[in-house]
Chains A and B, each alone.
Chain A
Amino acid sequence: MDIQLLTQADFILDKCGRPRPPQSGLSLVYIPKGFSVNCYFPVTPATATQSITKEITGDTTWCLREIQIYTVSSTALNFQVQLPNGRFLLSALQDILQIAGYGSYRFLFTKELECPPGSKLIVTFQDTNTGVAQPVNCVFGGAYKYVLKSGSNQLCPVDAVASSIPRILAGPSQNILAPAWQQGVGPATPKGYQDQEFVYTTNPATPITAIPLAGPLNATQTIAIDAGSDFRCRKILVSITADATVTAGTVLAKVRTGSGYSLFDDYFDVATYLNSAPWPIDWRINAADNVYFDLQLCDFAGMGNLYFQAYLEGVKRWKISGGAGQ
């Protein structure tokens, strides 16, 4: 790598838009770099397992940050990676579709893994459907990491300015509507509280609300929240089933709590438009409150019953007395 190019890459813009070297001291320059691993199994392959070794090349340490895998619906492969530090990524060979994805759906490492030049990635593929040809493409993404001893002193503390601006990812998310956790930022538990993942549903003894096509066409399903903890709802899951004699029907719902708060102002098809979609912020439901699903059946045909069941997914939240939250 040309040192002049690295030095230029190390420069940052000051408030006036002029490129400036950083303050004296050590600085890091990252140059994005990916290593691709491709594999192909023909129909009825001679051997159903292939291990591919990829050496990390370059003149400096490479940091592994992500894996992008392109597959198709007919892909039937198992997958395992031995990382350059000798450890395995997965506990066992696993269906590649469990972690495959690219762009916003790529597999991200929580913390980048530094791989020195000359170290090796060993990727193992196992064909689990030899009746179909199995191509697969992987890119192990990351960046070369160059350590520079930077140049001159300066009057303007631009490094402080640069470190305060919003983060720009080397591989930016392609889905601007992706929820916060997908960008690597999870909804945090406030200090002094503790969360536990939980899914509420209706009374387990009678979990399903039946709406007969013969009428009445409206009903209410109630979900009771435990008295011991508040609830932060992050998804609504809806299950609608019907008798075999029902040929059409749509269940509209309006969701509210016993406190009088209404989640939306009118009835709409929650199963189609809201089902399992992650919300950008939590819906706060107090302890011992009830969540009501006011239901309305419309556009129906046939005879018999339609059945509605809702689930609230989120976290139970407790206050921890006298201690810091997690």
Chain B
Amino acid sequence: MSNLYRAQYAYPPVQGLKDETYAYAFNSVNVAALGTAIAAGAVSGDIYLQLNNDFEFSCRGVNVRLRAASSNLYLWIKDPFGNYHSQVPVPLSRAYRATGEQAIGHIPVVFEPAIECPAGGTFTVYLYNPTSGALTPPEFTFFGVNRCVVEAAA
């Protein structure tokens, strides 16, 4: 190779599959439960975040955006395989907001290793409001790649 730009991918694609960058967006528009305020002391459980059923999705990070920066919501995530990501709900503003976040941009919290989600898989989230007032649910973006099947030419 003669050029100084050499692509270096931390995740080589699986043989026979082609990776395409993709992100899943979940908010009050496409998930009704994320548009309903959570009452003081209440838990909003079993919020299903459904993935498409066309490709497997290698999920490499999540960005959870709170409408109010000071919101004290707690979050508990379960991946499509039923694995919880913490023992208990954890403060969203600390566990799922990356350091260095600025008004100009929001970097994701990385999943290491990536979660290889089956096509049509479902993330399940639980939101807990420990405060004395109602809180607005957050928005979720799952970053990763679609594992597209490379089809042989006709």
Contacts and interface: CB of A to CB of B under 8 A. Distances in A.
B2 A110 contact: no
B141 interface: yes
Nearest to B4: A168
Contacts of B13: 111
A234 B100 CA distance: 16
Secondary structure dominating the interface of A: mixed
Nearest to A241: B72
A197 B25 contact: no
A195 B85 CA distance: 12
Given A91-B24, A150-B2, 6 more contacts: A90-B24, A91-B52, A98-B106, A99-B105, A105-B104, A200-B86
The contact size tier of chain B is 35 or more
A69 B139 contact: no
A199 B95 contact: yes
A56 interface: no
Contacts of B11: 110, 186
Contacts of A195: 112-113
A30 B87 CA distance: 48
A100 B23 CA distance: 13
Q: Quick one: which of B13, B91, B99, B105 has the most chain A CB within 10 A?
A: B105
Interface in B1-34: 1-11, 13, 19-27, 29-30
Interface in A203-240: 204, 207, 234, 237-239
Contacts of B102: 101, 105
A187 B104 CA distance: 27
19 contacts: A11-B2, A27-B3, A30-B5, A91-B22, A95-B65, A97-B65, A111-B21, A143-B5, A162-B4, A170-B5, A181-B112, A186-B113, A187-B112, A197-B115, A201-B87, A275-B94, A276-B94, A276-B97, A311-B86
